[in-house]
Amino acid sequence: EEERQLQANNRDFNLQFEYANNSIKTSKYNFFTFLPLNLFEQFQRIANAYFLFLLILQLIPQISSLAWFTTVVPLVLVLAVSGVKDAIDDFNRHKSDKHVNNRPVQVLINGMLKEQKWMNVQVGDIIKLENNNFVTADLLLLSSSEPHSLTYIETAELDGETNLKVKQALTVTAELGEDLQKLTEFNGEIRCEAPNNKLDKFTGTLTLRGEKYALDNEKMLLRGCTIRNTEWCFGLVIYAGPDTKLMQNSGKTTFKRTSIDRLMNVLVLVIFAFLALMCLILAIGNGIWEHDKGYYFQVYLPWAEGVNSASYSGFLMFWSYVIILNTVVPISLYVSVEIIRLGNSFYIDWDRKMYYPVNDTPAQARTTTLNEELGQIKYIFSDKTGTLTQNIMCFNKCSINGKSYGDVYDMSGQRIEINENTEKVDFSYNPLADPKFAFYDHSLVEAVKLNDVPTHRFFRLLSLCHTVMPEEKKEGNLVYQAQSPDEGALVTAARNFGFVFRARTPETITVVEMGETKVYKLLAILDFNNVRKRMSVIVRSPEGDLTLYCKGADTILYELLHPSCNSLKEETTEHLNEFAGEGLRTLVVAYKSLEEDYFQDWIRRHHEASTALEGREDKLSELYEEIEKDLMLLGATAIEDKLQDGVPQTIETLAKANIKIWVLTGDKQETAMNIGYSCNLLNDDMEEVFIIEGSTSDDVLNELRNARKKMKPDSFLDSDETNIQFEKSSKKQIIIPDEQANGVYGLVITGHSLAYALEGNLELELVRTACMCKVVICCRVTPLQKAQVVELVKKYKKAVTLAIGDGANDVSMIKTAHIGVGISGQEGMQAVLSSDFSFAQFRYLQRLLLVHGRWSYIRMCKFLKYFFYKNFAFTLVHFWYGFFSGFSAQTVYDEWFITLYNLVYTSLPVLGMSLFDQDVDDRWSMLFPQLYVPGQQNLYFNKVVFVKCMLQGIYSSLILFFIPYGAMYNTMRSDGKAIADYQSFALMAQTCLLIVVSVQIGLDTSYWTVVNQFFIWGSLSVYFAITFTMYSDGMYLIFTASFPFIGTARNTLSQPNVWLAIFLSITLCVLPVVGFRFLKAQLKPTPSDKVLLKIKEAKKRPPPPSPKRRLRRTSTRRSGYAFSHQHGFGALIMSGRNMRPKSPFATTGTFSPNSDKYKHKGL
């Protein structure tokens, strides 16, 4: 699709282009494709395909050496368990799709509004939306109930911002109003760009009655937004369903696999090669033996039917041995892995310490196949709004005329920490106060009541200098519609302290000051933008005084003050530093009285400039500069952007665990950096925080290189290992090793520069520079850029990534990362639906990783090490036996033992260990985050560890074969009867084996529970019980063919020399292991060994009382000015295009704080 062409109200015309309709699909299967697709996915696991192959082999009678059911039952079980799990997951996706697709919406069909389902809406339809509706598809706004066809929307689902945004229809379509007749006749033709994922860009043209009109993003309502404060609006569907910007941004659902899964696939291949090699040796051995010995031995031991040469016999033996030795990779490996993961997922669901009682949300493991990956996280990508912060702003402190308000002191003048029990200021004397507003410092109210002039002027400024819209649905019940939560917080503060902003028209602002209603004339708004970082209003009071009120960033406003303010400036600066140190967002406020003559001249020039055709912006900003000088300082405000509970501590703990945190946010740079400081990500101990904001790709490249030069000058030398690696690996995938910087650094990059940095040649620079920093903050990024950043780190770093977010704007990043965590919070459920794990608060992340993740990883590694060991020890005995049995594919053990070994005798003890084992309990895991590091480096299970297991298995199998063989060789029983027969040897070998692997699991277990004890002793006793039963006379008489080992158990196990030999083989198998572990811990302890030793010592001492810490940060001054409305809103207010008729209550005011009722006793 190059460009899109459509006609309003003309379905036949639009159908020829075959545009997508509005139904969405996130599920993978349907009823018919489920079986074939799911089986296809499952047989991509090498092991599953291998077992299918074995099954076919076992059905061929010439080579089958084991019964077919030994393979069928486990295989069907594995496929069924995984299949059912996938089916349930997919069923839930179908349910959520159905819910969205069946939402109702009003569509204009043949001149009537008819209710349709979302999924039946098509491109070119005109639909009607009402207040608080979700937007159905990407629409062109045609008309709305508001003046000038403005429509207010909230885009939290798209970019995480909860402030209102304004969209405005073209005047030519605004005239349609809600006249259904006119709307039906509307036949405009639209040409616009093809569907894409850019949220902030749209270009197109509307052709109506031969006239062309330009369309841009200001006229579009995107799917995922919510209509606010607008009774109704009509829109024309331009993109529907999968073509909408929201769905284009949501990324693909990928099948996630853990690194251990991928490693296991490789190891299984290695084992197959090893298996083939053994079978080849044995087959060649068989050929030679049959040629030299067997050929002459045929009278006694004839060759099988159809075997006519030694080489053919060898060929058949190869396949027979494949079947016998297949237990090196038993299918129960995969069953057990699934059970362990499922068990560890239940622990997450059941964890009371990750349950959030406020909105009854437990933690939830939505995917059960990724647990051990949680123990290996190296990079966390977090959203800011709603994840780190609650997105609630509150007016916390202020400085007025050199006095700081907001702290509470006790009688002795000590500062008290504010908590639930602190007494709040009583605003009941003010009927218009906002009941939700809380303030604790009573001295500020006293100052207002005592008519302190600077204090009154301060709050008057806050009630006049802003772009908030008031709504008064019923008298006295004011609701402010602010473009940013900051503005709202300041106006609400002024309202509670007795300066109530009541109503506005394009020319006036109505304020109820201490009970008196005053109407100010609004003469000019000097609008905010990112360069000016301030906004001013010029008003005329009812008494006729002209005043300019200004608020803005401290760094900017301090340049514009009158010299007489210098001493006040110093005091205010001290307060600002205090506020900034607490991570508050600050603004400085100032005013200036104007002369009438000067102002008249200025406003005339202002009018000329604002109508100029070229250079309008520059001319206006010159005029603004001219009037905004020699201001008188009033004070400063401090607003708290409330963090979620425990965020700074969580971030501190995760940093100690050597996890790097990147914050990706749609917010602007100042806000993002402020939050960075307030939640301990950035601090003043850092050498430097690099800010990358270049506007061309060369600028960005230079900024990145300069940063890297500072952090690691050597990284530009040819001798640097990373550079050498780049030279070598021009073709294959480059993995960048971790590079250490010469200090602690932070990096901040804007979305605009990020777009350049993500291009082909720059992405390596970005990864190298950013990964040296401890903290990276990306601001103003689109949802897709979030995913690209995650993808970039996945591509160039050998590290496991985790993304955490709460809104629809985080979905693509959650799907891209190895592990996606959704926060089930305010912004809707989009993020949770596509996540792997979800919980209610960011602070639970440390428990998820440091406790559940680490335990899952350690358990899985121990399980795999033990599992491969026990199976090598079990299977390789057959290999040594082959040399003594003419390579005839005779099994060492009884066939029943082979079937039951993995299913009954050894399955439960290892499950017990891998479900309950913990090296240290959860409290110590959180206290010593360093314990997390081995997981990141994947130290507990990798190829080296696997080779060690293999060697230990080979050593054990040698001992388990030759000691029983030697002990049995030509032996007599104590009553003179022979005991040196095959059956006695088999029984002795299998008893040795089982006891050895049981002792080994005892050595591996570091946390004993009743269950572990029960499983280990239980498995051994079950073995002896089954053995004595199977080898009894009764079983032989009933099933003669199935149980040939009659009487072996009681004959052999009653001999003391047999037990001595068993004891010897156990000792020889276990001693080297114990010795090696002891020496390693003494001579070369790993960092985690040292920590475990510390914990052991700490456990002996009584625990210290847990310290209550107040996080105080010292901070240099940084401007955290709190504006976030887009440029140009002031012009909109002055033009009056967004005004409704005046509210009838605007001019009535009834209370006065100075009336007798409120007078203070004894004043």
Which segments are annotated as binding site for ATP? 383-385, 487, 528, 551, 585, 665-667, 780, 786, 809-810
Query: Catalytic site residue 917?
Result: no
Pairing of strands 220-221, 211-215: unpaired
Q: Does residue 908 contact residue 870 with C-beta atoms inside 8 Å?
A: no
Look at residues 555, 435, 448, 431 and name the one whose alpha carbon lies nearest to residue 502: 431
What phi and psi, each to the nearest 5 degrees, are found at residue 50?
A: -65, -40
- Sign, CA dihedral 322-942-661-1113, equals positive
Q: Which long-range contacts (CB under 8 A, 24 or more apart) does 279-283 make?
A: 279/318, 279/319, 279/321, 279/322, 279/325, 280/318, 282/317, 282/318, 282/321, 282/879, 282/882, 282/887, 282/889, 283/314, 283/315, 283/317, 283/318, 283/321, 283/887
**How far, rounded to the nearest angstrom, does the alpha carbon of residue 3 sit from its chain's CA centroid?**
35
**Nearest 5°: CA angle at 1011, between 1006 and 1014?**
105
Candidates 383, 527, 836, 1004; catalytic one: 383
Rg (CA), the chain: 38
Residue type, 136: T
Residue length of the chain:
1163
Annotated binding site: 383-385, 487, 528, 551, 585, 665-667, 780, 786, 806, 809-810
CA distance 406 to 421: 16
CA distance 954 to 970: 26
CA distance 150 to 174: 9
- Which pair of tokens denotes residue 989? 């070998």
Look at residues 953, 917, 961, 906 and name the one whose alpha carbon lies nearest to residue 1072: 953
Q: Does residue 526 contact residue 1130 with C-beta atoms inside 8 Å?
A: yes
CA distance 1031 to 1042: 10
Beta carbons within 10 angstroms of residue 385's beta carbon: 27
Look at residues 24, 28, 156 and name the one whose alpha carbon lies nearest to residue 100: 24
Beta carbons within 10 angstroms of residue 692's beta carbon: 24
Look at residues 163, 292, 174, 178 and name the one whose alpha carbon lies nearest to residue 232: 178
Q: 1066-1075 b/e with 16+ CB inside 10 Å = b?
A: bebbbeebee
Q: Is residue 401 helix, strand or coil?
A: coil
Look at residues 860, 859, 867, 869 and name the one whose alpha carbon lies nearest to residue 919: 859
Annotated binding site for Mg(2+): 383, 385, 806, 810
Q: Does residue 100 contact residue 118 with C-beta atoms inside 8 Å?
A: yes
Positions annotated as catalytic residues are 383
